[in-house]
Amino acid sequence: MSAASQARKRLDRDRLEIVAFERGHFTSYSACGIPYWIGGAVKERDKLVARSPDQHRDAGIDVRMRHEVVGIDLDKREVVAHDLIGGGEVREGFDHLVYATGAVPVTPEWASIPAAGIFGVQTLDDGAAIHDWLDREPTPQRAVVIGGGYIGVEMAEAMVLRGLDVTLLEKSPEPMAKTVDPEVGALVRKAIGEMGIEVVTGAHVEGIGTKDGRVREVLTPGGAVPADIVVLGLGVRPNSALAADAGLPIGVTGGVRTDRRMRVVGVDGVWAAGDCVETRHLLTGDPVHVPLGTHANKQGRVAGINIGGGYATFPGVIGTAVTKVCNLEVARTGLTEKEARRAGYAFVTASVESTSRAGYYPGAAFMTIKLIAERRTGTLLGAQIVGRTEAAKRIDALAVAVWNRMTVEEMTGLDLSYAPPFAPVWDPVLIAARKATDAVHSAM
């Protein structure tokens, strides 16, 4: 819808007809807000909806809800959709096509069983199903969340806030293993455990036990874990099957291949944006799939500007992300050690513990910042933050430094704001940069 809205701003209805097909019940909503609605921090579902179908229609976009596109005919320049309410087939021709199908949850065979109480979390329809189930069930007591990534830890918090006993199962040695380095993941695991969430790492799920058509337990080599509800947080993959069937180019990550203007490579008049596409990591130059709403909205905007006759590009990503579990904040940008090593970098690391405010000011809380810098040049390659209060948004300053190829020594002179209610006189970012600079000099 970002693409549609941008194109409409540039071309009126007489010059461009815009049709949008949507399989579900909602348009333009915050998928990232779903765990917070389920957990109760957001009270109303509609607060997550930025623009309704009727609002889009009023803006001149022909939104057709509950229509599932099942085919793309590039030769005839048309899409084929099923009307899920009225029935029948719809064919719509196009001059330009925007493919924005998002991502689909990774669902192992053992999770694809017909039993009540097993949920994925990808769309607002998914979130509504979980919310309704928790409201409808008389006495759910135990929740098992499988997967310790972003969605997993956020849904673990949501289940705790709904009053359930929660077990988080993660196959890696630490939670958030794809996001942060192991020692930072250990801090996350410790903090989550202190909040009453049972964290089981090194857990390999073998199956789900059911009784009377309902989930009852999750089966692992270490034994069965009782469950009244199971939430799958095993990650997502690009929803590119329809594109592949149509002959659109698919990259090594499984996402649709586009150029910087979000045009599908080698196919005239076809564009793609969001979690279904493959993009480029600015530090490594490698193709990556990073499914985040920040990127999706920017890519959609770029596609819409170009369709509308303007010019815009999407340069790539550096992997900046942030999340929270209860009062624990976790953030990262750039490369982890594993990613830097895979890309061929030689590097040094530096970790510091500091406070969010001046130590004497009420509410000061500890945080840990880790920096990764290239060994010879001192260029900042990545950063990670774990803290309890006012910690994670400091990642934005570090993301700007990574984006602009700053060295950690240059960062020591950054003119960051200071007042006791907001930061120590030496902000934690500056302290970490100083320590990283020392590590670079020692390695020379």
Q: Contact 368/386 with Cβ under 8 angstroms? A: yes
Q: Which residues of the chain have pLDDT under 50?
A: none
Q: Where is 81: in which H helix or E strand?
A: strand 78-83
What integer pLDDT is reported at residue 239 of this predicted model? 97
Q: What are the helix (H) ranges across 292-415?
A: 293-307, 337-342, 395-403, 408-411
Contacting residues for 54 by C-beta, under 8 A, at least 6 apart: none
**Can you give the pLDDT at residue 350?**
98
pLDDT at 137: 86
Residue 353 β-bridge partners: 368
What pLDDT shows up at residue 114?
Answer: 86
CA end-to-end distance (rounded Å), the chain: 51
Domains of the chain, CATH where assigned: 2-24+66-102+237-307 (3.50.50.60), 107-234 (3.50.50.60), 327-443 (3.50.50.60)
Catalytic positions: 32
- Backbone phi and psi for residue 443, each to the nearest 5 degrees, phi listed first: -85, -5
Give the per-residue pLDDT at 11.
95
Residue 140 is predicted with a pLDDT of 87
Query: Which tokens in the block code for residue 308?
Result: 């509308």
Running DSSP on this structure, what letter comes out for residue 258? B
Q: Which letter, b or e, does each residue of 389-420 get, where b requires 16 or more Cβ atoms within 10 Å of its Cβ?
A: bbbbebbebbbebbbeebbbbbbbeeeeeeee
